Amino acid sequence: MPSAAKFTLWNRKLHYYLGLYFLFFLWLFAFTGLLLNHPAWTFAEFWPERKQSVFEWQIQPPRSGTDLDQARDLMRQLGLAGEIEWTATHSDPNTFDFRVTRPGHIFEIHTDFDKHRAIVQRIGLNAWGVLHILHTFTGVRLADTRNQRDWTLTTIWALAMDALAAGLILMVLSGIYMWYGLIRKRRLGAAALALGLLTCIWFAIGLKLLTSS
Amino acid sequence: MRRLYPIVRDLHLYFGLFISPFVLVFACSVFFLVHAWLPRMTGARGASPRRTATGLRLPQNLDRLKNRQRVDAVRPVLDQLGVAGEIDSIRHLPREHRLVIAVSVPGRETTVDLDYGLRVATISPRDAGLAEAFVYLHKSPGPHLAQIRGNWSMTQVWRVLADAVVYVLLFLSLSGIYLWTVLRAERTVGLVLIVLGAMSFFGIVYALSR
């Protein structure tokens, strides 16, 4: 088989193999994207439905180390797992507050080293809450240098997001290549592609140029 | 079945081509969001020169209005200043008789510091570049400050387009499954990939949320 024909065949296979593998990932991010854009949809409410509980725990103050080391030590003692989020500056050496998050669960942890005590506020979310958080669960935020990804599962989820994004880009490129090979459909396809392209250019670049004063 | 196949294939093709650029915008911005990293791309020039406007015509009770009413009242003031875009937030500093208004268009953020006592405003634009424009579009209109979100006509149009992209993606995935089932030789490999995808998806989600 000539190499061009081989490339065409594998390009086609790549298009639907990627689509089939990423099917569930795509459905999750597409559907939750819709939910995030419509916070008024009451059927998907999760924050008013949250379940809260507070428990107190005896702890051993962690040995000296970085804030991350101390938080991990405390989480081990409390039997918690998740992504650590810094909620307050650690100015008083006898108190240490932070948040642990994973989809469906939020733990607000307040510790008092003098009293060897940790107060943990647990917030449990329903399935809509889990879906919501999965869409944005990266462990990092733009313009926030303090919070870094620190849980292995967050890293795996972030890699899954990267893989989906790369897969979608490849599907777009392989789709365009396949369309270009269909000579009879080039004109209408070019119109559809140009319409989408011009709309995106309008929003990504045009609005800024148009509204510059 | 024979009639359905070419129709589904054509719709899959043309809808797919139309949303291709949107998918690229959403997919590229994923890398910036997941890694909290913004490359230096064209158009990012940072802070632009500030300018000041005086003698502004202001609506009455601007200091007493809340939420959407305040956003609607501020819009004509922004028009006087030549500042267009989505009003992201308005911070009221009552003791200083000031409103600090954050206004965005994809790729530019403008802060308008309005002294409603003196009827003076300072306008500070920041050119953010293409990468931030993609991120802005990815997150727009989003779940936050729902009472005021969508206060600019272009945000409303983008909301419709972003929704349409989701519906079209769902159609493309379903029509893609249909088109794959017609390819008998690919059924086994395809089925294995669906099962592998489902296992990795549900496995990670279970581990994250248990």
- What DSSP string describes A24-89? HHHHHHHHHHHHHH-TT-GGG--STT-EEEEEEEE-PPPPS--HHHHHHHHHHHHT--SEEE--S-
Count the helix, strand and coil residues of chain A and give each as a percent rounded to the nearest 5. 55, 15, 30
Q: Which residues of A touch B44 (CB under 8 A)?
A: none
Tokens read off for B119: 């009827």
pLDDT at B1: 64
Average pLDDT score over residue span B151-165: 96
Q: Which residue from B185, B151, B13, B21 is spatially nearest to B76, judged by alpha carbons?
A: B151
Tokens read off for A18: 């990627």
Q: What is the phi/psi pair of residue B99, to 5°?
A: -120, 130
Task: Give residue B71's Cα distance to chain centre.
Answer: 19
Residue that wins the pLDDT comparison between A89 and A189: A189
pLDDT at B89: 94
- In a mutagenesis test of the A interface, which of B7, B20, B136, B145 is the best target, namely the one with the most A β-carbons within 10 Å? B20
Distance CA B81, CA B79 (A): 5
Q: Quick one: closest CA in A to B15, which residue?
A: A192
pLDDT at B64: 87
Percentage of chain B modeled with pLDDT above 90: 80
Chain-chain contact of B197 with A22 (C-beta, under 8 angstroms): yes
Distance CA B109, CA B87 (A): 10
pLDDT at A91: 74
Q: Which residues of B touch A102 (CB under 8 A)?
A: 208-209
Sequence-ordered list of residues with C-beta below 8 angstroms from that of B120, at least 6 positions apart, any chain = B52, B53, B54, B56, B114
Chain-chain contact of A30 with B170 (C-beta, under 8 angstroms): yes
Question: A153 to chain B nearest CA, in Å?
Answer: 6
Question: A203 to chain B nearest CA, in Å?
Answer: 7
Percentage of chain A modeled with pLDDT above 70: 99
User: Among all chains, which residue has been given the structure tokens 């725990």?
Assistant: A57
pTM of model > 0.90: yes
pLDDT in tens, B12-47: 999 999 999 999 999 999 999 999 998 875 555 666
Question: What ipTM was reported for this prediction?
Answer: 0.92
Q: Quick one: closest CA in A to B166, which residue?
A: A30
Distance CA B84, CA B88 (A): 12
Average pLDDT score over residue span B171-198: 95
